Structure 1
Amino acid sequence: MSFELSLPIPLSLLLRDAALGEVESARSALKRGRPKDIHSARKHCKKLRALLQLLQPVLRRRTRRSLDHAVRDAARAVAVRREARVMSETLETLAQRHEMYADALLALREPVRKQVRRHAEPQGTRIALDRLDTVREAIEILDLETADAAALERGLRRSYRKARKRARVAAENPQAERLHEWRKRSKAHAYACDLLVPLWPVLEDRSHRLSMLNDALGEHHDLADLLRALDALDSIDPALRVVIEAEQQGCAHAALAFGDALFGDKAKHWSLALEDRYGGGD
């Protein structure tokens, strides 16, 4: 790509403000503490990790990895609280789609919730806030003066390359673990595109299509988590397993179809295709 940026303030300031904004949004959501707020906090953490990956060309490897791990640990500290709610919502969605099994599915909500919350970190919110405080202090003193459009392009291609690699592995054998690894890379690439839309609006269409891909991968992951929780309870009806696995297959097929369209080209060809399609920046 050869997009050009025309900005009223230095790019380094925009990037720092964006990173600090994600930190503060995550912290605010954690303090509110409702299930939807925990979900929001984890999304802000993922966006921040995507931004750090975009900045890989200008950050020292040790610095980037240290920040990335701290943000990852913050999100993990409160993951179980969100997972319990997601599994309950997944069971409710399945009940709406399969009325024949609705009562049996809804009856599993409380046992599953208790099973999942057994593994919750009691001080999860405090741990997450502490990690994010450390990250905020580090971001405030980061040297981002060398961050320019070319560096962001390299970071974006890198995120594309990683997601494409996982897409190809998943296509060879679409097991839950492989699809989940693809989901993590695809979400990081999607967040990178989202973050760059204000600078390069041409990425908005791709961001929208990546959202549909990640919805399919996310639903597949939620169903896989649900199956694991039910197996731990040793309480799953074989008929329900058939229903859940059929839903998973539908998600996998949809995701692979999106993947063919979104990650079919090698990174360098994808970059050139964007430039040819849009003719440079705004």
Structure 2
Amino acid sequence: MVYKLNKEKSLIKNISSIANEEIEASLEALETLNIHEAIHDIRKRLKKLRALCRLVRDEMGEDNYKSINIYFRDLGKEISDFRDLTAHLETLEMLNERFGKYLYVNFFRTFSKQIEEEREQMENNLRSQNFFSEHLVKKLKKAKQELTSWPVESNNIDIILPSIERVYKRGQMALQKAYETPEKENFHEWRKRVKYLWYQTLLLQDTWPNFFDTLEAEIHELADLLGNDHDLMVLKEKILAGDFSLKEETHRELMIAIINEYSNSLRSNAKTRGELIYAESPKDFKKRIGKYTEINWN
């Protein structure tokens, strides 16, 4: 199951097939993966569905686009708090690999143990409400029945170009704002725009595989840098909010200093990579992608 448009199928069939496959895969994840892996997988697929919807936004019309996008956005929000706790644990492991040898034993364990306990309690609460086995399944099945036949009537690949330009332009603007006003929310907004661009390049892999494979890898790396930074900032907020019971205040202060140091490194690397990816004008980027699709699709 590959997230890409298939040149052997019509565009209309591509859109409905990919939407259906992503929902089917989400239902399968609930049956075959442990719950933490399943929720992570579903979150990613919901974002892919929203990116696919965004790609044909102009063809669908604004009302149709908004209703579909909001459904998947809100469903993602329902599982975000539970997923965030696993992300915290992954972030702590990432910090341990980078800084652990310079710190005393179990420096990070104090944090991870409390998060594990919080996550277990939340999981038990959700299971007692049949959230995973009934509610989430019901929501996904409803989406499969009602939200996979999207109102796309044209098979001309050019209908995606307005979205290509818009996503690129908004990512470019978000990059500038993030470094002019380096707040967590601005970097998170840029990250979202980068991920939309990444998903679009994944969908267009068949247009020119060698080119799009390289572009996709570069954007993916940028998305990972910004994703790691976002996870650091969310964990930092949790620490500053006093959610952890610590014996010494110096423990908290050192943890914040470590997070800030790593964040600065990630943002510095992201700036260089981002400026390379967003070096073109949005119109030139759209024109270039349009020429590739014209040659290899139409």
SS of corresponding position for 1:174: coil
> Structure 2 matches for 1:22-101, cutoff 5 A?
22-32=22-32, 33-98=34-99, 99-101=101-103
Distance change in 2, residues 1:205/1:27 (3 Å): same
User: Partner letter of residue 11 of structure 1?
Assistant: L
Instruction: After TM superposition, give the deviation of residue 27 of structure 1 in Å.
Output: 2.0
Instruction: After TM superposition, give the deviation of residue 157 of structure 1 in Å.
Output: 1.9
Moved more, 237-246 or 76-85: 76-85
Q: Once the two structures are superposed, what CA deviation does each residue of 1:53-104 show, in whole Å capped at 9, x if it has no partner?
A: 0010111211111111111122222222222122112112212222233521
- Match in the other structure for 2:13: 13
CA distance in 1, matches of 2:67, 2:236: 34
- Asked whether the equivalents of residues 43 and 76 of structure 2 are also in contact (C-alpha less than 8 Å), the reply is yes
- Asked whether the equivalents of residues 197 and 203 of structure 1 are also in contact (C-alpha less than 8 Å), the reply is yes
Structure 1 stretches lacking a partner, 5+ long = none
User: Partner letter of residue 46 of structure 2?
Assistant: C
Q: Once the two structures are superposed, what CA deviation does each residue of 1:192-242 show, in whole Å capped at 9, x if it has no partner?
A: 111121244332221110011011001101111111122232545212211
- Asked whether the equivalents of residues 174 and 252 of structure 1 are also in contact (C-alpha less than 8 Å), the reply is no
Instruction: After TM superposition, give the deviation of residue 252 of structure 1 in Å.
Output: 0.8
CA distance in 2, matches of 1:28, 1:74: 17
User: Partner letter of residue 226 of structure 1?
Assistant: L
Distance change in 2, residues 1:118/1:267 (3 Å): farther
Instruction: After TM superposition, give the deviation of residue 170 of structure 1 in Å.
Output: 0.8
- Match in the other structure for 1:154: 162
Moved more, 12-21 or 263-272: 263-272
Instruction: After TM superposition, give the deviation of residue 171 of structure 1 in Å.
Output: 2.2
- Match in the other structure for 1:189: 197
CA distance in 1, matches of 2:75, 2:290: 37
Distance change in 2, residues 1:75/1:200 (3 Å): farther
Distance change in 2, residues 1:129/1:68 (3 Å): farther
- Asked whether the equivalents of residues 80 and 116 of structure 1 are also in contact (C-alpha less than 8 Å), the reply is no
Distance change in 2, residues 1:242/1:140 (3 Å): closer
CA distance in 1, matches of 2:257, 2:87: 20
User: Partner letter of residue 111 of structure 2?
Assistant: L
1:233 aligns with 2:235: no
CA distance in 2, matches of 1:37, 1:206: 28
> Structure 2 matches for 1:236-275, cutoff 5 A?
236-274=251-289
- Match in the other structure for 2:107: 104
Match for 1:136 among 144, 149, 153?
A: 144
SS of corresponding position for 1:265: coil
Identity of aligned residues (%): 22
Distance change in 2, residues 1:72/1:128 (3 Å): farther
Distance change in 2, residues 1:171/1:43 (3 Å): same
How many residues were matched structurally?
278
TM-score (norm 1): 0.88
CA distance in 1, matches of 2:164, 2:43: 21
CA distance in 1, matches of 2:6, 2:227: 36
CA distance in 1, matches of 2:87, 2:149: 37
Instruction: After TM superposition, give the deviation of residue 154 of structure 1 in Å.
Output: 2.2
- Asked whether the equivalents of residues 19 and 148 of structure 2 are also in contact (C-alpha less than 8 Å), the reply is no
User: Partner letter of residue 94 of structure 2?
Assistant: T
Moved more, 10-19 or 212-221: 10-19
- Asked whether the equivalents of residues 55 and 147 of structure 1 are also in contact (C-alpha less than 8 Å), the reply is no
- Asked whether the equivalents of residues 239 and 252 of structure 2 are also in contact (C-alpha less than 8 Å), the reply is no
Moved more, 109-118 or 52-61: 109-118
Distance change in 2, residues 1:149/1:105 (3 Å): same
Instruction: After TM superposition, give the deviation of residue 128 of structure 1 in Å.
Output: 3.3
SS of corresponding position for 2:154: coil
